[in-house]
Structures are given as structure tokens and as C-alpha cells.
Structure 1
Amino acid sequence: NLALDHPNLTVWRRATVEAVEGRPGDFTVTIRQLPNVVTDACVNCGRCEEVCPVEASEPGRRAIFSELYDGRVVRTVDLETCTFCGRCAAACPVEAIDFTQSPRRVKVAAGALLAAVGCEPARRQHFEYLGYGKPGVITQVELAERLDEWEALAALGRLPARHVVMVQCAGSRDRRHLPHCSRLCCMIALKHAIRLRTLFPEMKVTICYLEMRTAGVGYENWFLAARQAGVEFLRGTPPEVQTDGRGRPVVEVEDVTAARKRVLRPDLVVLSTGMEPAAGIEELADRLGVQRDVDGFIDIFVRETPTTETSVEGVFVCGSASGPKALIEVTTEASAVATEIHAFLASQGRRTTAPSEVDPGRCVGCDTCLRLCPFGAVALAPRPQDAPRPEGVAAASLLATIDPGHCRACGICAATCPELAIRHNVSDEEILGRLAVLTDGVEAPVVGFYCRECAGAAIGLSGQRRDRYPANVRLIELPCVGRLSAVHLVEAARRGAAGVFVAGCAEGRCQYRRGDESAAEQMRLAREALAAAGRAVPMELWHLCAADRAGVGRRIRLFVARALGDSETLAALEREATLVDGGANGCAGCPAAAAGPTAGEATAAADGRGPDRAREGGERCGCRA
């Protein structure tokens, strides 16, 4: 194996990560490695396994067993079940078994770290409610093992089952079990269904589903091939699998398409079970300092793009560790992460902006920034004796500190600090200065704050389309709308703004995780402050992405008309919205819808999927109605 024999590659088998220290580009990893007991002198004669009296934790194996490791047969001892009786060592003709070995800890220096722990098949507790364990109820994994044997039956003209029912999303997309879609189950079911129909043309195969998700280039052809092969697709999933008096499976399912209940009596029920995070991923994520998503997988840094970066600089993720993926996706990510790690090690890292800094002369040691930082870059530490401190703050008080290696310069801490004690690379003075210059001499200006990420892409693409917005609109770019504070909004109102809109990333997809939440809270505080002063200024928070490029100009024009109370212009824009073909998309009056269907929506309409399916994955209108 060329990879294993490479001089620059060291493989630590039976090893776990105990600790990670250091900074991006200069990590120290503590590894604990269990002994293999069987040395390289082993000739794989198998005598040790023959004399071993103990069964391993995995059924069908002894406490000493052989496994295929990257094309090589390696003998291994299951230390959890081995009784260390010594029979294997006595039977070994080459004295290759050494029980004197002990675990060892090693510290390894690393410039970058990669988590590629994969995922695991769902435990039976997630799909046992469907009748798993009863006669005639198996999983797709078990069916795959049977298919090799069934090929011999097909050659003999024997039929192992007359009717096979496959139940999709067994335990998946269910908040009681696995809330996420495992993405592989539909393709596995289609592959097995086609193979069954090919081997046994007289076998009836029914797939019970809610949605067949064939996400991938050419994957839709598998669905079409299954239909052509005669596979029946029944839209609806059963709540359970029952058995009749003879012990055969009985499946009662509501056929959504036909609007009637059907009772199926198959010979075999196959559950398409999902995937879940690998065991120990929680501990590994904690040691690496990376965040996990709501499903328990390692979260990627930029959710809008298929990246391999995590929330910690210098730590990458690849494959199904960030969510279930097909083999072709895993191999593609492997190539991508190799390139990204090389670029990271050959450069100064991914940082392009300076991290935020704390002014100890203003910091009072509250935990506001600590609670709100989405990357865990803020900590409270004892205040140094020589550090300045605000009046009335004790010398033994705590001081907020920002880790430059974890800070992403989103600006949320600077915007929310009640003491204005955090300096950001885009300072308050700079933002207020832009406001002063841009609104000077403009009658009833409308101010728009937008992030340079998703909203910036939408506005930039809108400009390339020669879209228009009124001349009194003044746009101010921020690294993230989380940098926006109530001070900036109140200042815009003080300078005569007729309205203020804030445009951030697509909802739930902020590249700095909580920027839109912070902006919404600052807008609430600004409204309260203006209401106390007897002033009301229209404010709106928008969620935009590149798919909204066609409707940005109309959305701005609608907002300006509402802010200025221009009923005539507003009525004309609303009439225009209803006349444009995109108004049929189901978002009447929505600027993105009014601008017409996107290419993805047009394709979806052509093949009958409808606009909602086309907008999945970010191609959505951005309307919050």
C-alpha cells in the first residue's frame, strides 16, 4: 500500500486523542495508543485464534482475531474481553504475541488538524418501534448481506420472497429519534430494489416513502431506473410493522397519493435506517474546541458553501464527520481538504482581518461578550495588577480577554458591550463617520446596513443586473450585521433617516452564526430608545442570499415607498408585483417573487417539482411572510 508505506505518513492504530493544545499552525496533540499485543513477527497462521477460548465483543469473533487493514491482514487482541490466559502466546510458533506491552502516550506537533471520524449506522433503539427484531423485519445492511446468497438462489430459479416492502426514513427525520436526513438511505433502497427486480423479475418490491431524496449528479436516474424495473412507489410510511397469526409481517400504510389506507402482507420488510454521529465525537469535538451542529455532527465554518473548515482555525473536517455523505462526496472532500490544509500551512492562515481587542480601562468584567461570542473566543481572566481599570472596579476583578486564534472579527462583542470597551477593526467612529458623510445634505435619507457576505452578494449581483433603487438610499457595508449596534441605528434616526433596513445572510445561515440575532436585538433596543424620545422610524431586518439578486431593487423601492408614505408609488409597485410572472410563486408582493422565477425555479416548474423544492438549499426568495 503506497499510502501506508509513505515515509511522511505515520498511522496510529488503536489510538485516541486525549488533549489538544497550542495555536493554529502550532498544535500539540496528546495521543494515547493501546498495545496491539501481536507484533510484526506474526505470520498469520491462525493457531492463536483456534486455541482462544473467549468470544470477543463482536459476535463470531474470538478475543484474538484477524482484520483487513488497508489490504493487509492484521491480528488484533480485543483487550476488553481478553482474559490474558496466555494460550494464544503458547500456541504461537514465532513468539509474535507479547502481553508485556502497555499503553503509551505520545505528544505530536502538528500545524493543522483534520477530523475524519465518519458516521455510524443508527442504533436499533431508533427504529425498534417499527418492529425490528420480529420475524421477517430486517435492515438494508442485513439485506445487502443476504443478496450475495440470493444470487445463487436466482441461478437455481428459486424465489426467496414473493413480496418485499422497504420502509424509508426508519427512525430518521423524526424528532423522537434522528431528526436529520441521512441522505444515503433512498439511494441504498433504490439500488437494492433494482437488484432484486433484476435477480427475481417475478418478485414484487414496494418502497414506502414520504420523499425520495436523490441528491447528487445523476442520482435521479436511479429513481427512474427503479420505476422502469417495475418497483412500486407508495407515498406514505407506516407507524409500525405488525404480525398476523402466522407470524408474517403486516404493514398498514396511508397511501397519500390515492388518499386511502392500504394493508400490505409482504414476506419481508426492509427498514431503511439512517446514520448518526460516530461514537466519541462529542468528546473529540470538545478536545478540538470545534462546534457541533444541531444533529451532533462537527459543524462547518461556512454553512452556505461545501467547505471543510470548522469554527476553529487550523482544524478541518472531512467526510461524514460533518454529516452523512455518499462515497463520491467523501473522496471529493478528501481532495479538497488536502488542498485547503496545504494552503493553510503555506500561508499565514485564513485570517484577513485583525481580531477585536478589549480596552481594560473600560471593561468592568461583565460576561456579556462571553455569552454572545459565537466562536468561544472570549474568556474572563483575573485582571493584571498593572492593567488600568474603570473607576469603582476592584483590582481583583475579572477582565475580558479575546483569543486571537479563535476570534473571527464578526463584531458582535463590540456591538453589544454595554461599556463600549471592545475595539473592532471597523470602529464605531468609522461607522458613524460614514453615516455623517453619506446622509449629509440628503433629504429624508433611507439608510441600509448590509453584511459583505450573503447580502453583499445579492446587492452586488443586483447591481450587475442594472437594478435600480431611489437616489436617497444610502448603503453601508459591514463585515457582519452583528457589528451593528443600537447606537448606529439611533444616530441614523438623529440624522433624519426616514427608514433603516438591515440586510444579513439567509435566515439561519449567518456566516458568523449569530449576527442576525444580534442585529435583531439591537434593532429592538433602538426602537425602544426612539419611542422614549417620541420618535418612530421604520426598521426592517432582511435575510438575503445570492438567489435574491433579482428582487433586491424592488424590495428597496417598496421599503422606501412605505417609509416615505408614498402611497401612489407603493400601489404601483404592488400592482407591478402581481403582474410579474414571479408573483405566481406563492409570495404575493414579495420582491424576489415579483422579480420572476430563477433558473432553478423555471427548471423545477418544467419537471413538475414546483418552486418550493427548487428553493431548497438556499435558492429561496427571502420573504419572511
Structure 2
Amino acid sequence: MKVGIFLCHCGGNISNVIDFAQLKNAANNIAHVAAVKEIDFLCSSAGQDMIKKECTEWGLDHMVVCACSPKLHGQTFMRLAEESGINRYLVDFANLREQCAWLYNNKSHEATLKAASLVRAAIAKVCNTKPLVPVSLKVNQSVLVIGGGISGITASLTLANQGIHVYLVEKDASIGGAMAKLGRIFSVDKLAEECASCTLSPIMQEVSTHPNITVLTISQVEEVRGKAGDFSVKIKQRPRYVDVKKCTACGDCAAICPACVPDEFMEGFTVRKAIYLPYSQAIPRAYLIDKENCNGCGACVQTCRSEAIDLEASERCVEVKVGAVVIATGHRMYNPAAMPHMGSCFSNVLTQIQVARLLSINSPTGGYLFRPLDSKPPKRIVMIQCVGSRNEKYGHTYCSKVCCMVALKHALLIKSQIPDAFITICYMDMRTSGMYEHYLLHAQEKGIRFLRGRPCEVLEDPITKNLRVRVYDTISSENLEIEADMVVLSTAMEPSESTKDTARRLGLQSTQHGFIKEEHSKLKSVQTSSAGIFVCGTAQGPKDITECIIQANAAASKTMELIGKGEVSIEPEFAIINYEHCDNCGKCARVCPHGAILINGRAYIDPIACSGCGGCVSECPNNAIEFPRYSDSMILAQIEAILEPNTSQIIAFLDDKISYVAADLAGANRLNYWRGVKIIRVASTLQLKFEHIIFALTHGACGVFLGEGSSGDPKKEFLAKEREQVYHSELHFNGIDPERLKYAKVYIPAYHQLVEMLNKFYAKTSDPDNCKNFSTCMFTNQERIIDN
């Protein structure tokens, strides 16, 4: 083994504080070190050329870079090692700038001592590292899209146009979703005049004829098994009783059918037959039979000239293999019957979706607004916002995001139809963000009245059926009673039953309100808690059509990253199982927050799904699981190497993604913490076993600090707190003060709080008398790099 040590001056950022002569001398005395070289800037072209030259001349097979944070140029030096014939994973880093030099104002003996301990730890780690290679896995290049609304349609077309086969599963008889019911949609460019059907119908038709899309309507996903890249899906398709391929949509069957029921698409304003076409632009364009309302007379069978009807048809099960799943199961509208004081039981009280249907060109009124009870055009209209939204007592606490814009759109459309209509919008806050503000200004110019206040009651005159809205105006501080011909309720968006059911069947995390939770609201906004499963549209939360389309394209893009090439290369940063020690107890699978561990004959960790949280590593009672890049031997070697004898010090294990970055920012902002704070980077503090804690405490550490970044994953955070409690109990059992172990949640922007916590914990635990009670330092003089 030949280890090369490369020291960077960083233009004086490091060398002006740390004594490089002393550091070089110390490093040269460590076993396996074959060369120690220094240069002004290792990351420069000259620096990189020097590294290549030294690696070749000395025949180096391991490398330690002593420079800035590995978060900055780590990948550069790993690539450079590879170009020099060294396995890229046989490289480690001593963070001499952010976590050493920048903690001091000028050249310091303490800084040099701290630098020496960091170099020791890096050498110890790299000497215990094994060569690794990325893992390549074959993936299935088909995708399941659940939900055929605008989001599902968009994702399907984006994927299909790139050569991916898509199975589009829709629970209803036609694709199109909620958008199909809308007459006009608001847009940034136009004021209430964009035709919804003109936007939706062409792409629905494109989906139906696309060679890479298989549409399965009246269908439901029953089961998804497997892992990212290789899912087995079971789909239940209910019978349509009409053969889609034979049906010509002539309508003869519906004409003769005697059974009539309210038409769901028309929001109950008209009736349909038991055999019916969902709506004129439906895809597939074929009739179906509503068996619950069919009387079984058989008249339709006798009338159908194409022999497309089969009353004995049964449901079928379809099984497909896919590499990824996109969930676009949409939303439903809040039922205002849960708020009886809003008057939804009165005939002239409508919801915005009912108004949208009446204002559509294909509505029973031809696009004109009339009162349902007497078919008269309403002249006095009150719109009530936040019905079921922003309400702790009724409905939901969140804002449904689109209601204000929908109310403005409909108010302007009604004004264009009925110029002398007096429209009042009762609101809590009008939310027309960004470029949509011009809708609000235009509505004000048109004379629409805005009244700030939540109505407390809607009453009906039993004779005229006119309405009275009681509301407290929070601006004028008056109780008002407004006469109205029609009241329109802006109801909340809430997760559909399909969204809740899909989350349950696929084992996905949901928000407290029932929407499917994304893995990270900013960085992974379309990924879910399970690898290979993506979410878009209103299944993830309230949003308008534009946002749905954008997010659907994002989900398709991330899906392509996974399956686009037919195989995926994965860095070896996932947990692996030593089957010689594994007894299939299943404890690892129970704690995994991402469902990455499957027990099928024997335990298997899916490299794609594994997030590297480490929960399984420390949970395994047989030590059968480890991270190749953060193995037990590496951690124990680092602990032993980084600690100094006869010195008050703590080990601070910081997770790689957040806590370690926060420590870097603390250095970048020149925030000081004690030299005795010794930082060791780990994949996650969840991987740490009690063995690591006790080893540190019995080898010179006065305390162990576990800094874990906030993941937003309740399962991971619960596991972290549970581990802390278990380790505290075990410390107490071993006669060690449990207060010598501290777990802390760390946030990147709160790096100053990390420094404060480290300093407080160090001050609390660094009493030498207390340390002597359990510290049995195992260092020899020869192992010490720098003599005090």
C-alpha cells in the first residue's frame, strides 16, 4: 500500500495558518505514506498535473487530499485519481480550510495540531478502504401512469414521444379528468377567454392514437410489487359491456334505453341513460353501460347493429412490467354539505365547478348562466371564498390556491353575459400571485365588489327562493346582510379517494391532509418516498393547470433519468448485506423508511431505492450490513487516529448531506469552535452503532455529538430519537453518564446554531476529571503525529 499526501496552500488560506513544515514532517512518519507533496493550488491545472506525475512516479495506489472541503472539489480529485490509475474510491480528504484554518485568525500551533489530527484520520480511513466500482442495473423501459387527467396525459405523451411505452390507467370511462368539465380556463396571457376543450381535446386524441401508449379506462391499480427499474403491476379492469373496437358511437342504444339517471359530467343539471357516452369528446369514444342503473331489458343489445354490446362481460386482470410509476390521480372538490350554514342544500346555491359547467359551450344552457330553480338569469350574485379551505373547524387549514382565480374568471365571464349583474366576492385574502394580478385589477375596473369577510350564514326565502348572505365586513366593522339571486361557493381542493388509495397500496408517505408527499419540496419535488415512483399534479397538492403541466413534464423528465438508457449506474453509496452473517430476521426491512429492503427468501437491498440513511446498518443484530464507503473499520480507525492523548475532546459525527455542510459554512463565516471538537463525516448518524459510541468514549473522547440534518422524514427522525434513547440507556448500564452522548437536528442555514451546540457540549463534557472515569487512551508516542 502506497499512500500519497497532497497538501494545498490555497493561496495562503491554509498555509498562512497551519505550519506545513511541521505537518509534512509528521505525515512522513505515518505508516504506508509514500509521498507528501505541497503546492499553492491543488485544484489548478498545475496542481492536477503534479498529482498525476507523483502518482505515476511513486506508484501510488491511495491518495489523501489535504485542502478545502470535499464538498467543493471532491469529485474533481476522485476523477483525477482515476485518470492516474487509482481507484476513485481510494481517495479521502482532510478538510484543512473550512474545518481548520478558517477557524483561526493567524498561524497557530493549535491549528497545526488540529490539522495533524484531520490528516491522521484521513490516512487511517483511506488505509481501511477497499476498491469499489459503480453498480450497473438493467431497468424496464415501460412506465405506469396512474390517472388520466391533464397531468397524467402530459406525462404520458412526454414519455411516449421519447420512445417509452406507457400504460395509462384511468378509473373513469374516459381520460380528461377534472379539466374536461371546465368551459374556459384562465391564463397569464388572456382574460377568461381560453377554451378548455380546445386545449385538452387534441392531446386526448393524441394519447388515444399514440403507438407507445396503452390506455386502460375503468381500471384500478390493485398491486405494485418489486423495485425501481423492475415493478410488477396488477391492474383490475371493470367491464364496460361495450366493445370499444366495435362501437361506432352512433347513439342508437342510448336512444332506446328506458333508464334515466342524473348526468355526473353535467353536475346533475341533465340526465343520461344507463348506456351512455360520458361526454361528446370522451376518449375512448365508445359507450358503456352503468350496470347499477341498468334494468337488464336488453333493448340496447337488439338495437346495436355492430354487435358491440355484451351484457355478460366480466372484469379482467391485467399484469404488466414497468420500470417506473407516475402518480397523477388528481383531486376532488370539498363537499359543502359539511358546512350546512353555507346553504348548499338550496337550489340557487351552486359551487364553482357547477358554474363552470353551466358556462361551458356544451352545457345544457348553451354556455349561459341561469338559476337552476326558475331558469332566470341572476342579477345579484355573491361568491363565497375559502369554503372548506383555511378553516380549522370545517374542511382544511391549507389554501386551495386556485379558488380566487376561478372566482375572478367566472365573475368576469358572468359580467360579459349579464353586464348589469351586481357581483360580490366575499373573501379572506384575494390571492392572485405573480402575473395573475391583472385579473384582479380588471375585475375591479368592471365594477365587481370585493368584501373582506367570511359569511356566517346563507338563508333562503321560502317563497321567492332568493337568498340572503350574512357577513361581517372586517374593513368597515359592520354586520351586513346581502340579498342575492344566486350564491356561488368556492370549495376546497382535497385529495381524491384514488390518491389516498394509491398512496396506501404503494406504501407512500402522505401529507397530514392526504396528498402524496414528495421526497423534498424543492430538490426532489416529483420524487416520492419510494424510489422509481413519481408524483405530479393535484395528487401532490392544490395547483392550477399550468403548474400541473409543468410538474407532469418534470416527473416525466425524472422518470427518463431512471429508465431512459435501459440501465442505470449507481454509486456504491448504498448498504450491502454480508449473507454469511444474515439470518433473515427482517429487522432491517422494518426500519427502512424507503422500503428499499425486500425479504424474499433472503434479504435484498435495492441499490436504487436505498438512500444511505444507515438505519438498517445499526439495527442489524448480526453486524451483517454495512456501507462500503463508511464501513465499521473506517469509522473505528478514524476515531482512533483523530483523538489526541491527554486532551479534552469530543467526537462530532456529522451526516454528509447537511450537518457536514453546515460545519463548512461555519468555517466559511469564520465562526470558531474548540480545537477539541473532532469532526468525522458519516453517511448518516443513523448508521452509528453503540460500538462506535463506546469506542470513542473509551479512547479519549469526553463526549460524542451526533449531528443529523433535518430530512423531513418522520420515520427517520423517529428512528434517530429512538436510537438516542437506547444508546443513553446502554451508556447508563455501562456506568457512563448518558449526557456524554448528544443527538442534535441540524439545518444548513442555521450553521451558527451548530457551532453554539458544539461549543456548549464540549464545555459541558470536557472536564478532565470526568473523562478519566472511563477514558483508557490507547495511543502510543509513535502514533502521535505532533508532540505537544
Q: TM-score of the superposition, structure 1-length normalised?
A: 0.72
Are 2:656 and 2:683, in contact at CA under 8 Å, matched by a contact in 1?
yes
Is residue 276 of structure 2 the alignment partner of residue 65 of structure 1?
yes
Structure 1 residue 336: deviation in Å? Answer: 2.0
**Residues 68 and 342 of structure 1: CA distance in aligned 2, closer, same or farther (over 3 Å):** farther
Q: Which residue of 2 aligns with 1:324?
A: 542
Contact 2:229 2:323 in 1 (8 A): yes
Is 1:11 the equivalent of 2:11? Answer: no
Q: Matched residue of 1:4: which SS?
A: helix
1:169 CA drift (Å): 3.8
Shift of 1:40: 3.4
From 697, 716, 721, the equivalent of 1:515 is 716
Among residues 633, 640, 647, which one is paired with 1:436 in the alignment?
A: 640
Q: CA deviation at 1:73?
A: 3.8
**Residues 369 and 222 (structure 1 numbering): CA distance in 2 closer, same or farther, change over 3 Å?**
farther
Instruction: Tell me which of 232, 239, 257 is aligned to 1:28.
Output: 232
Residues 359 and 369, structure 2, Cα contact 8 Å, conserved in 1: no
Matched ranges for 1:368-517 at <5 A? 369-378=588-597, 406-417=609-620, 420=623, 422-425=625-628, 426-440=630-644, 443-445=647-649, 447-456=651-660, 458-459=662-663, 466-470=669-673, 472=675, 473-485=677-689, 488-489=692-693, 491-492=695-696, 494=698, 501-506=705-710, 509-510=712-713, 513-517=714-718
What displacement does 1:53 show? Answer: 0.8
Amino acid at match of 2:324: A
For 2:493 and 2:479, the matched residues in 1 are separated by 30
The CA deviation at 1:243 is: 4.2
Cα gap change, 1:477 to 1:203, in 2 (>3 Å)? farther
**C-alpha separation in 2, matches of 1:454 and 1:235:** 43
1:55 correspondence with 2:260: yes
The 8 Å contact of residues 209 and 235 in structure 1, kept in 2 or not, is answered as yes
Measured in 2, the distance between the counterparts of 1:453 and 1:438 equals 21
- Residue pair 1:169, 1:185 contacting (<8 A) in 2 also: no
Quick check: 1:81 aligned with 2:293?
yes
Is the contact between residue 242 and residue 286 of structure 2 (CA under 8 Å) also seen in structure 1? no
Question: Would you say the 8 A contact 1:39–1:97 is kept in 2?
Answer: no
Which residues in structure 2 correspond to 1:197-346 (within 5 Å)?
203-214=421-432, 217-227=434-444, 229-243=446-460, 248-256=466-474, 261-345=479-563, 346=565
Secondary structure of the 1:435 match is helix
Max Rg structure: 2
C-alpha distance 126-468 of structure 1, shift in aligned 2 (>3 A): same
| 1:381-419 C-alpha deviation (Å, 9 max, x unpaired) | 88xxxxxxxxxxxxxxxx977566654331113234566
Per-residue deviation, 1:328: 1.1
In structure 1, the gaps of 5 or more residues are 383-398, 567-625
Q: Give the C-alpha shift of residue 62 in structure 1.
A: 0.5
* CA deviation vs aligned residue, 1:447-493 (integer Å, no higher than 9, x gap): 44333334455555666x55433362433333334334555455555
Residues 484 and 171 (structure 1 numbering): CA distance in 2 closer, same or farther, change over 3 Å? same
Structure 2 residue runs without a partner (length 5+) = 1-204, 371-375, 765-788
The equivalent residue for 1:182 is 400
Q: How far is 1:84 from its partner?
A: 3.4
Amino acid corresponding to residue 64 of structure 1 in structure 2: I
User: Bigger CA drift: 171-180 or 286-295?
Assistant: 171-180
Other-structure match for 2:384: 166
Match of 2:326 in 1: 114
Counterpart of 1:333, as a letter, is: Q
> What is the root-mean-square deviation of aligned Cα atoms in Å?
4.0
Where relative contact order (Cα < 8 A, 6+ residues apart) is larger, the structure is 2
Question: Which residue does the alignment assign to 2:177?
Answer: none
Which of 250, 261, 270 matches 1:45?
Answer: 250
Aligned residue type for 2:611: R
Deviation track 1:84-121 (CA, whole Å, cap 9, x = no partner) reads 32212222344443446443333323232322222222
Deviations 1:316-349 (A, max 9, x none): 3232222232111221122222222222112544
* Percentage of pairs with the same residue: 30
Aligned to 2:128: none
Verify the 8 A CA contact 2:259 2:294 in the aligned structure 1.
Answer: yes
Q: Does residue 753 of structure 2 align to residue 555 of structure 1?
A: yes
The letter of the residue matching 1:480 is S
Q: Name the CA distance, whole Å, in 2 between partners of 1:544 and 1:109.
A: 40
CA distance in 2, matches of 1:467, 1:126: 57
Question: 1:622 maps to which residue?
Answer: none
Comparing 54-63 and 531-540, the one that deviates more: 531-540
